[in-house]
Amino acid sequence: MNLKHSTEQLIALKHDTKISRRAFTKSLIAVPFAVRAQQNPLRARVKIDSERTIGDIDPKIYGNFIEHLGRCIDGGVFEEESPLSDSNGFRRDVMEAAKKLNVTNLRWPGGNFVSNYHWKDGIGARDQRPRRLEMAWGTVESNRFGTHEFLQYAEMMKTEPYVCVNLGTGTWTEAQQWVEYVNSAQDTAMTRLRKQNGRQDPWKVTYWGLGNEMDGPWQMGHRSAEDYGKFALEAAKLMKWTDPNIKLIAAGSSHFATGIDWIGWNRTVLEHLKRHIDYLAIHLYVGNRDNDYYEFLTSSLDLDDRIKTTEGIINAAMSGEPRNRRIHIAWDEWNVWYRARGQQQRGRRILEERYNLEDALVVATFLNSFVNHAHIIKMANMAQLVNVIAPIFTNEKGLFLQTIYYPLQLFANNTKGTALELFVESPKYESKRFGLVPYLDASAAYDNGTLVLNVVNRHRDQAIETEFEIQDKQFAGPVEVAEVNGPDIKAENDFGKTVVQTVTRSTKGDGRKLRHRFSPHSYTMLKAKLV
């Protein structure tokens, strides 16, 4: 056997009559040596120790986001004229699919939209609400879905609401009065207005965002870090004096590719706000623009680096502050987003990304990364819930679940408790940006005798035989196996066609050991009882 040829290439040459010898030789040049030199079958080893902990997994890492953008709210969660909607105008099918994602918190109303959103436009009789020009995404906002609709939706979803205030064109008073309207039990003009509009008791919303992506020139009311820090500080004071129980999330910078000094922004903003905020918000969207599968599958390494850098900036800002005063990261927008992006982001059918299997694998690696940084990532919000870069996709007759729905569903419903630090010895490939990258990407959670392992096999063509060994416990009973996979990395779901989904079965551990063969291009969750 010519060791310079990877096994998958030899198999392809033998079986695929369509592959020409020239294409085959060309493909050899493109395949990195580390890949070519792999032995077949590929093997990996993972060591688990239930006492080697990273931190508590905050359930809020399974948050989501709905913005007044394209068909996310209007035509997604809310479609008043649809026979599929309830008497509030909420799409029943969307809510049912969303509930299965165990969305632990829901961010609203934007995103870029919020920076010119005046919340008083969205209360009172629906038919009398003003129609406003919407400049973030180039539409007209009907304001028919406002504060009451959102908070009722959150109640019905049994999710924690997270409201972001307008620190673009909005004022301090507007932000303060929104907290008062929503949370106050005092008898004031604002709370009388709330009651007049049908809500007696305050909703007691805990999570409030201080604006969105204020570092970006694309933001309405964009400011410098210094100006944002000063402005947000006054808003924060008024909001916390209105309700001391609220938690505040500052707009951090994450615009790594745009030439914005994101590290400087975060440092400055923290200097102004460190005594008032609870989270720093960061965003990341990734894509496979060069159609390079292996490179795309390294996206979560970028996320890891960003988390570490941001944590360092927070630690530096907090040195000298009381130890019990903590600021965590809220990764409150993340996803794959690159196809439905660019010049045409205006109007109604925008950001309607269709996802394939490789996107679902990247989503699983992002979730692994959040779990592996459970000590500092205490909130994360996939952007967004429906139609707009989303796991749920509707038309007027129904919906289908995109590929990315499945890993999110498995993580959100199973990966809880304490994150464990794993020892992973896996075959690797050479990537352009990150050097050697392991084919296996993993995370683990331990909760009251239940171990959950999440493993992505990045290898496009080969399975990986893996041996798990627990240091301090034994496997007991059957092990649940849930695999998300599909016929090929570009496979997509559609209306009436589900080719990428979760397939479950069961296996068994043997004392301290468990063996599993991870299929090529797959994400697998293993759930076991330990004694």
Catalytic residues: 213, 333
Binding flag, residue 212, ligand AHR (CB under 6 A) = yes
- Give yes or no for a contact between 205 and 248, defined as CB atoms under 8 angstroms apart: no
CA 477 to chain centre: 33
Nearer to ligand AHR (CB atom), residue 6 or residue 112: 112
CA distance 248 to 233: 11
Using the contact rule CB under 6 A, the part of the chain among 105-113, 167-175, 179-187, 322-330 near ligand AHR is 105-113
**Site mask, ligand AHR, residues 49-68, x = CB under 6 A?**
------------------x-
Subset of residues 270 to 299 that bind ligand AHR, contact rule: CB under 6 A: none
Binding flag, residue 110, ligand AHR (CB under 6 A) = yes
Using the contact rule CB under 6 A, the part of the chain among 110-118, 230-238, 274-282, 450-458 near ligand AHR is 110-118
Amino acid at 51: E
Using the contact rule CB under 6 A, the part of the chain among 46-54, 107-115, 165-173, 501-509 near ligand AHR is 107-115
Binding flag, residue 141, ligand AHR (CB under 6 A) = no
Q: How many CB atoms lie within 10 A of CB 32?
A: 15
CB of 389 to ligand AHR, least distance (A): 6
- Give yes or no for a contact between 110 and 69, defined as CB atoms under 8 angstroms apart: yes
Amino acid at 289: R
Distances (CA, A) of 386 to 352, 391, 405: 9, 6, 10
Closest CA to 502 of 526, 529, 523: 523
Using the contact rule CB under 6 A, the part of the chain among 106-114, 180-188, 196-204, 498-506 near ligand AHR is 106-114
Nearer to ligand AHR (CB atom), residue 149 or residue 333: 333
Binding flag, residue 8, ligand AHR (CB under 6 A) = no
Distances (CA, A) of 428 to 286, 340, 522, 530: 22, 32, 16, 30
Q: How many CB atoms lie within 10 A of CB 63?
A: 26
Closest CA to 101 of 369, 331, 297, 381: 381
Binding residues for ligand AHR, rule CB under 6 A, total 9
Nearer to ligand AHR (CB atom), residue 212 or residue 372: 212
Subset of residues 318 to 337 that bind ligand AHR, contact rule: CB under 6 A: 333
CA distance 356 to 200: 46
The residue number whose beta carbon is nearest to ligand AHR equals 111
What the block records as the tokens of 346 is: 């205006």
Task: Give me the DSSP letters along 476-518.
Answer: EEEEEEEEEE-SSTT-B-BTTB--SEEEEEEEE-BTTEEEEEE
Rg (CA), the chain: 24
CB of 135 to ligand AHR, least distance (A): 12
Binding flag, residue 383, ligand AHR (CB under 6 A) = yes
CB of 405 to ligand AHR, least distance (A): 17
The secondary structure of residue 492, as a DSSP letter, is B
Nearer to ligand AHR (CB atom), residue 213 or residue 278: 213
- Binding residues (CB under 6 A) for ligand AHR: these are 67, 110-112, 212-213, 333, 383-384
